Structure 1
Amino acid sequence: MNQTHPQMRKLRRALALVSLPALAIASHAQQSSPSAAAEGETVKIEKFVVTGSYIPVAAGEPANPVTTISATSIADSGVSTSLLEVLRKTMPQFTGGLNLGSSNADISSGSTGGGSSVALRNTQTLVLINGRRAAYAPILASGGIQFVDLNLIPIAAVERVEVLHDGASALYGTDAVAGVVNIILKKDFTGFEANARYAFSDKKGHYSERKFSLVGGASSGKTTVTIGGEWTKTDPMFQYERGYSAESYGTPTFGGVITNDATGDFYVLKPGLNAPPLNQNLTLAQLVANGTYIPVDGSNLASGVGTEKQYAFNLANYVTLLLGNERSSALMNFEHRFTDSVTLFGDFLYTQTKTYSQLNAQPISSSRSAADPTNPSDVTLRARNRFTAFPRQYFYDSTSMRGVLGVRGELANGYTWEIAADKNRIDQSYRNQNVVNTAARIAAVAAGTINMFAREQAAGAIESSGMFGTAFGFATSTIENYDGRITGKLMDLPAGEVGFAVGAERRVESLVQNSDVYSQSATFGWDSATTLDPLNTSRSVNSAFVDVRVPIFGGNHTAPGFHVLELEGALRTEKYSDTDDPTVPKLTLRWLPFSDEFALRGTYSESFAAPTLFQMFGPTASGSTPSLALDRFGGGTPITGQGNQQNPANPNLKPTTSRNYTLGFVYSPRALKGFSMSVDYFNIDQKDLVGLYGATLILQDVELRGTASPFANRVRFGPADDFSQFTNGTPVTAAGQIGNRPIDNVYVRDPYENISTVKLAGLDLKFDYSWKMDTLGKLDLTLAASYFDKYEFEPYPGAGFSETAGYASTFNGTIPKWQTILSGNWTRGQWGATFSWQHVPSVDDQNAYDETDPGADTYVEPFDSIDLGVSYAFGANTRWLNGLSLRLGANNVFDAQPSVAKGTFSNGNADIATYGAVGRLIFVEARYKF
């Protein structure tokens, strides 16, 4: 008996559903003659493929909400070194903590490794280059976030960016949950264009940006070639260089601080002293009385408040606020027409980036007995220190090579076809300078080479100790993709053609990582450095899609209230080698009730995002839990300290899924020529996101409930510093067992699981007006706005939803309830001017709430930034300068400073990804076409 695979049965049922509109009217099409063409010459309307559909449409007719950012808009943005910042400058929908680039330069820099991630509405977003996938950033191999690195895209190579504001997994597959960012590279370029730009800050540190690019192309009739290159360099910026971030506290561990191990009391070495005298053997009271040490409150010392602020350690003096970034890129794009119906095409993009960030020197501490000659007291003390001349420095060097080669052509009856292969490989090397070698540190302290009680060491002591070294790692991310598709006409209906597209794709993704021996868990030898364990994993994905557009009304076939009515259905199935195989649909409606002036549009789609290779197969790192304060079973003092935790990969993860709705309209009244507006409602309900329960939750539940806790099998007990106890330790048998033993004897495993849910909804609005003012020139105005009705997050089932729209939060970063960007471009002859006004309203800092201080300030100020620019293009009347244009301008002209939100953004005190770090940035730019 023949059996059909369940996945194929699902696909067939879905295909039948998508094809239903066409089948329902097929008989009518066979009985009706096509609409008659007007007598005389036929006017052919050029059609294009726009992101959101594989079926070509005439300009201005896409049913999906798509924003196109042209090369002109990119230039007008005043940004020339970061494509991420171009998107943030032009579209308010790019907001939230997943839109992260050069501002990720502090303690969390390892999550992006110098790269730039983008997320429409702070939700998973697919990034394409010329309509095809790119490799994920290699930082994923060490547990960083999964993203396509926009820092590898040279802005000079970009023709336009198409942003689809809607789920599109039915066409493009995984990650297209919130939408798609499709980066279209330049081609068919004629002549050459050179561009040079210098930008600088007039404030402390004099931050600067430099760029040079050259793009050119030629055509021989059958062959067109476009080439280009770009070099950019931006300086690092340090926290102390800006007033809002110039003070940052949070540590009691630095030179001159000691703690009484028995009592937990803190003392600071008297200012002016480098170290206490040797061989004293005095009581702490005597050391205070003779002026060697000053007793302090440890919490105040760490926070830099009270009288202890005068002794506190300002972290801002050594930490980068913005990455240092240097990028070199080369581009080639070509087409060769073999015949009128067959064309060979391809493109190649090479990019090398070098990024740099810095943290304070590693905090270290050592418990020294009274017998130690450097310990001036008669009790065991914990000496705290950090050697500030050796800050931790992070270097990420990435090299990306991406090539595409394909053939496209035309068949009879207007059918078109295309097949292509592409490969993208990204190699990343990582160096972490000035990490502390644990064994060398212990030996140097024991030998007396290093005095842990001294603020500054003897000349040459640190160098001779060999305690500082360099950790390094290497990671490679690769994607190979093979695809093909056919588009064409299924039939003619009275309202027009029934268009279709079908296609298939196979891709292979791989992720590889290696590191120095001291960075690997089994042989870890650095003090608190990043664990980098070997990884070599891959997956394959086979997929197929169908896309059908059916015109119900249109052309000469209309009815009252139905000037145009179109339905489009798409379906995609993907078969993974390592997880579930999703099949997802999308339905699209475009309805013009009366004329071309007013169009309604709506979509329903289901999308998905596959779990990452790291989440499924990544190495398991062992470390400490967050600092705990657990309620004790039966009451009593809280359980404090840090236990041991692991976050194992989970090969049984499944894709996260979502249901998306959009409904909106476009209005372009003929009575107001040059004006158009669009309003679109969006709603995304996403479930089964991969997350962690958290060690605190697990341990608290097990302490209070024992074996009745669903987490009981995740907790084990055993001797300290023995990672085998995670699996071989003594299991939980009753409540209260965590609190009756040292906390470092507790081991908890918290694997990745499909447990989180987000729900978001809101509006996107856009108003465009192009005004030709006779002798006064032309003025183009755009107002773009976004509004969140909600952005709710539930970390695990039963936890309840928390709202993040209108807040600065740990989960989402800054999500304003609404924000706007007003921009304008004026041209008159050879002169031009641009302006932009970004407004971010106030939000509340969720993490500033303090039960002990009801008056704590949670209000985050509104923010306004205005950019201005003026340009002049030399014409043919200036012979030697013909083709040259100059531009002078400033971003954030009035030097608005970021709104402070210290609760959520404790490192730099503000969300500089949202508000910017630099302040006023003055730039001059020259462009020469020849």
Structure 2
Amino acid sequence: MNSRSARIPRAVLCSMLGASLISVVVAQTAPTPSRTSSSAEVLERYVVTGSKIPMAVDAAAVPVTILGRQDLEATGLDTNLLEVLQKRMPIFAGNGNLGATNSNVGVAGTYGGSNVSLRNLATLVLLNGRRLPENGANARGGRSFVDVNQIPLAAVQSIEVLTDGASAIYGSDAIGGVVNLKLRSDFNGVEVGGRYAFSTRKGDYEEKSGYIVAGAKRPGIGITVSGSWSEITPLYQNDRPFSTPIVGRTATISGAISQTSAVFPTAVLRSDLLSPSRAVPTGTAATAADLAALVAAGVYQTSSFQPIADSFDLSPLVTLTFKSKKKSGSLAATFDLIPETVQLFVEGLYSTSDSFSQLAAQPITSTVPANSPYNPTRSAIFAAFRYVPAPRQYINTGELQRIVGGLRGKILNRFNWEVGYNRNANKLGNLINGVLYGPNLQLGLAGGYDANGAPQVGGRFARVFPNFSAPPGPNTLAGYQAVVTNANTVVQPALDIFARPAGVDPASIRHIFGSAPSTFFANLKQIDGVVTGSVFDLPAGPLGAAVGYSFTKEELIAEPDVNSYATGPTAGRWTGAIFYDPFNKFRDITAAFAEVRVPITSERMNLPGLRLVELSAAYRYEDYSDAGTSKVPKFGLRWRPFDDDLTVRATYSEAFAAPALYSLFGPTTQAFTATAVIPNVFGINGQGQIRSGSNSNLKPSTADTYSIGLAYSPKWMKGLTVSVDYIGIDQVQLVGAAGSTEILRSVDQQGTASPYINQVSLNNWPSNPDPNLPAAVRITSAGQLGTYLRAGNSANQIFMTDSLINIAGQKVKALDVAVNYELPWKDFGRFNASATGTFFIDYQFQALPTQRYYEYAGHITNGGTGAQGAVPGMRWYSSLAWNKGPWSATLGNTHIDAVTDIGPGGITFASSTTLQRRPVSSSSLWDASVQYSFASSASDTGWRKWLGGARITLGVNNFTDRMPSISPQSYNESQADVSTYNPIGRLWYVSAKYKF
């Protein structure tokens, strides 16, 4: 890990000592403040995300936004935390924020989970200030993220969002910032609630949820429990006009055919025929010599890729958003062991989250030999098959178990301490329906048996393996046929690959279509302790400090079914599944940190221009069992020049994100380079050899983060608060792969000056050489590779590694603005206007050291490298709230500035001759709600008495029914970035809660 800050502990000590001395000098020269009475409110001190030192909410030197229960409910959303955060805080931008809309080809990246990302950067997610396990998707190479979909929104009391680097306090991942979810606790009474929402558009989209919270507080004891449930129906692409029809994408459908695979397709089955077997003899009885004869006979019609592809609409078969169902229960309890001195605390969470998404049926193509039972010709022929009634369905089942327990207390009323144990078990199950079992597919196509299971040339029955359990052996038709016996197989009709779906005998696919199960585990155990308090008093106030320690064990496990292995005798036997080998790795992380907060001046010193000056610093040391050590600092300044109206804050920090376990220890593959690589680089035909995959030598990505901001609450305009924060982030050493083309081009052009010089050699691998091959010959000069090939040597003797390396970088500059104004119109009720906005000034990404930084701010991209998704130059959430007596109402607006669609972006777009800059219009969504709260008094009787404590809300989100702005170059599957732009349309909802 990065050790560039090894000198920081001494620097921190010196700076803090110097700050303390300065504060003493200032105190000696400052005039004595007058002794006047003050009615200023004393704010409660508690730990705010971004610091371990207790302080008042407005005393933080870092930009922290606190969303309370009322803020969360005002969004009109209550089923997914990601969607609430995206709506309420525009800073959650880019496809790092992916959840219920990741329901098509990218589903294996998240498996139904929801990933949050501040400014599309690595973001740490905490629950009650402690870490959560990541989603199990990374155990097979998916995203490495904490699934906030597993946290029930009904159980959340508040969310604290730190929009600044915080690795010095919390460790890895806090580059973009921290999201700290705080569950309900210290609750007294019972509250029940529910919500029903529906869309007026096609698809019968619905959201349903309910919850209960109960708690009791007694002297020395407090217990809060909650339970919640929610369901969401899916949307399919044909339910929305922007994502239907989806045609022209594939011609691999039943009925498409060609004589050979060289050009496909060249003909299509006549539209009124379910199978050529209904019109002409097939198998050993076939009379047509070839495809041309079938076309002449009118059985097939001449065609080509585009007309066939244009006839097949994918949109009714593919989900646009997940179907989901969640259940959860939580517990928070405290017990005073020694009153006001030692307290026992316990937290528990159990959550299940099920999701469903769908893709079109798996397509296959195959060369069908002559005499196969349904071949309509006397020659081998190439045919496609897609059994539309059996789509690929992804069923994910998540289960999170979390228990936290510990002790906290006080020492001499000056120090607070806390020790805790945090244990998490996250299980993820994935089932892919609609996959085809390769051995039985090939045996089913071959046929060759009669109805009794006796061999027969051209027979229309097949022997196949029951329970998808062919013996290990060569994964070829001959290999399967060699192990067929009467005892280990059953007889079923042969598969007619030439038939349309309606012409397929269901019995012929009974043992071909199956389900591929996988199970993933992500476990986290942690012991931590912290001591905070006032070390001693300075003239400007107490010097606050915190020290802490933690030990963490992370574990990641993947268990595929035997037919989903990537290697071995049963590897890759499913068609349409995801192949990977078992994975089981863990790591230990030992960490210690220190933090100080030094007041230099205070209000009572009455210094002009220096009414309040406060410095803070933090330092963290982390040791990873698999990736070395990291040492990172953070410094902060809070300054009030004249009075409480204006506060200026600034920070500088170093942050890091440790490499994912799968990136370190996942599989490596060995293969030949793609056929175009050697010709593209050298103009000579041939294929080199390449190893790619994980790299146990990866280091953490590191970042320098700086911010400066101000908060202004003018006395001349009571009720107005304005905050502006500028932040810059420079992140390097991001993990990526260079690609074989880039490696060979760079090494041949630059020789030893190439950053990839140690990744290429001749005759053997440059690292971990094969002992059965000659010794590796290193590249020592530019042009050596080209000269070697032009001398007649084989490209097979070029060996290269393209493992993951620390290679990429990104630079982000952004401005966050928040305005809140309580209007002075008391006679008409209370009015509050607020607006929160994020401006991306720059979002630049460099994929390779040999490339320049490419700009992504103001663009929308997908399928490339870097800051993918929509990164609008400006995004706002604004609201106007009104309250008078039992009535309240809210009008909200989400505005996303126009962006430019540049497809994958980066060098791919810059060098493309076909991609264009396509404008994507701005988007503005309006929401409205009205609410009535039933109050009760001692004199109430009957229904008025029973309704006291009830509240009902009627609302509509996106009442103008605005559909997403399309960006077909970037999102050709659904035509739009539905993770950024709302695909639901107008959504009516009613919610109610009752507290007693």
Could you tell me the TM-score, scaled by structure 1's length?
A: 0.91
Aligned to 1:354: 354
Instruction: Confirm or deny that 1:814 pairs with 2:906.
Output: no
Aligned to 1:241: 239
Instruction: Confirm or deny that 1:469 pairs with 2:476.
Output: no
Once the two structures are superposed, the pairs formed by residues 742-757 of structure 1 within 5 Å of their partners are 750-757=802-809
- Amino acid corresponding to residue 295 of structure 2 in structure 1: V
Q: 1:549 to 1:158 in 2, by over 3 A?
A: same
CA distance in 2, matches of 1:177, 1:229: 33
CA distance in 1, matches of 2:790, 2:74: 60
Q: Out of 754-763 and 288-297, give the one that drifted further.
A: 288-297
CA distance in 1, matches of 2:42, 2:240: 58
Instruction: Confirm or deny that 1:506 pairs with 2:587.
Output: no
Aligned to 1:407: 407
Checking the alignment, whether the CA contact within 8 Å between 1:706 and 1:712 is kept in structure 2 is: no
Work out which of the residue numbers 445, 456, 459 in structure 1 matches 2:501. 456
How far the C-alpha of 1:669 sits from its partner, in A, is 0.4
CA distance in 1, matches of 2:978, 2:135: 22
Secondary structure in 2 matching 1:57: coil
How far the C-alpha of 1:381 sits from its partner, in A, is 2.8
Work out which of the residue numbers 901, 905, 909 in structure 1 matches 2:971. 905
Work out which of the residue numbers 13, 16, 19 in structure 1 matches 2:13. 16
How far the C-alpha of 1:346 sits from its partner, in A, is 1.8
Q: 1:601 to 1:750 in 2, by over 3 A?
A: same
Q: 1:330 to 1:209 in 2, by over 3 A?
A: same
- Amino acid corresponding to residue 861 of structure 1 in structure 2: S
- CA displacement, residues 310-364 of structure 1 (integer Å, 9 cap, x when unaligned): x3x2222211111111110001111112212221112111101111111111111
Q: 1:839 to 1:263 in 2, by over 3 A?
A: same
Secondary structure in 2 matching 1:538: strand
Checking the alignment, whether the CA contact within 8 Å between 1:675 and 1:768 is kept in structure 2 is: yes
Aligned to 1:721: none
Checking the alignment, whether the CA contact within 8 Å between 2:359 and 2:391 is kept in structure 1 is: yes
How far the C-alpha of 1:583 sits from its partner, in A, is 0.6
Aligned residues: 909
Secondary structure in 2 matching 1:533: coil
How far the C-alpha of 1:555 sits from its partner, in A, is 2.3
Aligned to 2:430: 430
Checking the alignment, whether the CA contact within 8 Å between 2:527 and 2:552 is kept in structure 1 is: yes
How far the C-alpha of 1:824 sits from its partner, in A, is 2.2
How far the C-alpha of 1:297 sits from its partner, in A, is 3.5
Secondary structure in 2 matching 1:915: coil
CA distance in 2, matches of 1:340, 1:547: 25
- CA displacement, residues 202-234 of structure 1 (integer Å, 9 cap, x when unaligned): 111111011000011111111111111000111
Could you tell me the TM-score, scaled by structure 2's length?
A: 0.85
Instruction: Confirm or deny that 1:335 pairs with 2:395.
Output: no
How far the C-alpha of 1:753 sits from its partner, in A, is 0.9
Checking the alignment, whether the CA contact within 8 Å between 1:359 and 1:393 is kept in structure 2 is: yes
Work out which of the residue numbers 93, 96, 99 in structure 2 matches 1:95. 93
- Amino acid corresponding to residue 850 of structure 2 in structure 1: G
Checking the alignment, whether the CA contact within 8 Å between 1:647 and 1:749 is kept in structure 2 is: yes
Work out which of the residue numbers 191, 194, 216 in structure 1 matches 2:192. 194
Secondary structure in 2 matching 1:477: strand
Instruction: Confirm or deny that 1:107 pairs with 2:105.
Output: yes
Percent identity, aligned pairs only, is 35
- CA displacement, residues 832-862 of structure 1 (integer Å, 9 cap, x when unaligned): 1112111111111111879998795711121
Secondary structure in 2 matching 1:480: strand
How far the C-alpha of 1:671 sits from its partner, in A, is 1.1
Once the two structures are superposed, the pairs formed by residues 307-706 of structure 1 within 5 Å of their partners are 309=310, 311=311, 313-338=312-337, 339-372=339-372, 374-377=374-377, 380-412=380-412, 414-447=414-447, 448=460, 449-456=494-501, 460-463=505-508, 466-521=511-566, 522=568, 523-524=570-571, 525-620=573-668, 631-632=679-680, 635=683, 647-698=692-743
Structure 1: segments with no counterpart, 5+ residues: 1-5, 719-723
CA distance in 2, matches of 1:489, 1:292: 89
How far the C-alpha of 1:415 sits from its partner, in A, is 1.3
Work out which of the residue numbers 827, 832, 849 in structure 1 matches 2:888. 832
CA distance in 1, matches of 2:341, 2:96: 44
Which structure would you say has the larger Rg? 2
Give the CA RMSD over aligned residues: 3.3
Work out which of the residue numbers 819, 823, 826 in structure 2 matches 1:774. 826
Q: 1:139 to 1:643 in 2, by over 3 A?
A: farther
CA distance in 2, matches of 1:373, 1:498: 87
Q: Out of 751-760 and 34-43, give the one that drifted further.
A: 34-43
Once the two structures are superposed, the pairs formed by residues 179-190 of structure 1 within 5 Å of their partners are 179-190=177-188
CA distance in 1, matches of 2:238, 2:761: 43
How far the C-alpha of 1:678 sits from its partner, in A, is 0.6
Once the two structures are superposed, the pairs formed by residues 251-270 of structure 1 within 5 Å of their partners are 251-261=250-260, 263-267=262-266, 268-270=268-270
Q: Out of 869-878 and 26-35, give the one that drifted further.
A: 26-35
Work out which of the residue numbers 149, 152, 156 in structure 2 matches 1:151. 149
Secondary structure in 2 matching 1:187: coil
Checking the alignment, whether the CA contact within 8 Å between 1:615 and 1:752 is kept in structure 2 is: yes
CA distance in 1, matches of 2:630, 2:960: 50
Q: Out of 599-608 and 406-415, give the one that drifted further.
A: 406-415
CA distance in 1, matches of 2:27, 2:615: 19
Secondary structure in 2 matching 1:572: strand
How far the C-alpha of 1:707 sits from its partner, in A, is 11
CA distance in 2, matches of 1:621, 1:875: 67
- CA displacement, residues 609-646 of structure 1 (integer Å, 9 cap, x when unaligned): 0011111112346799889577446648x99xx99976
Secondary structure in 2 matching 1:500: strand
Checking the alignment, whether the CA contact within 8 Å between 2:678 and 2:688 is kept in structure 1 is: no
Instruction: Confirm or deny that 1:273 pairs with 2:273.
Output: yes
Secondary structure in 2 matching 1:441: helix
Aligned to 1:291: 298
Work out which of the residue numbers 836, 842, 855 in structure 2 matches 1:784. 836
- Amino acid corresponding to residue 48 of structure 1 in structure 2: Y
Q: 1:675 to 1:451 in 2, by over 3 A?
A: same
CA distance in 2, matches of 1:237, 1:834: 28
Secondary structure in 2 matching 1:913: coil
How far the C-alpha of 1:493 sits from its partner, in A, is 2.0
Secondary structure in 2 matching 1:582: strand
Checking the alignment, whether the CA contact within 8 Å between 2:545 and 2:596 is kept in structure 1 is: yes
Checking the alignment, whether the CA contact within 8 Å between 2:922 and 2:965 is kept in structure 1 is: yes
Structure 2: segments with no counterpart, 5+ residues: 448-459, 461-493, 778-783
Checking the alignment, whether the CA contact within 8 Å between 2:230 and 2:325 is kept in structure 1 is: yes
Instruction: Confirm or deny that 1:881 pairs with 2:947.
Output: yes
Aligned to 1:3: none
How far the C-alpha of 1:746 sits from its partner, in A, is 10
Secondary structure in 1 matching 2:444: helix
CA distance in 1, matches of 2:633, 2:751: 45
Instruction: Confirm or deny that 1:765 pairs with 2:817.
Output: yes
CA distance in 2, matches of 1:533, 1:341: 52
How far the C-alpha of 1:12 sits from its partner, in A, is 3.9
- Amino acid corresponding to residue 547 of structure 1 in structure 2: E
Work out which of the residue numbers 925, 930, 933 in structure 2 matches 1:865. 925
CA distance in 2, matches of 1:467, 1:63: 62
Q: 1:763 to 1:634 in 2, by over 3 A?
A: closer
Secondary structure in 1 matching 2:892: strand
- CA displacement, residues 510-557 of structure 1 (integer Å, 9 cap, x when unaligned): 112212111112221112420132111111111111111111111212
- CA displacement, residues 742-782 of structure 1 (integer Å, 9 cap, x when unaligned): 99999975311111101110100010011252231111211
- Amino acid corresponding to residue 874 of structure 1 in structure 2: F
How far the C-alpha of 1:699 sits from its partner, in A, is 6.6
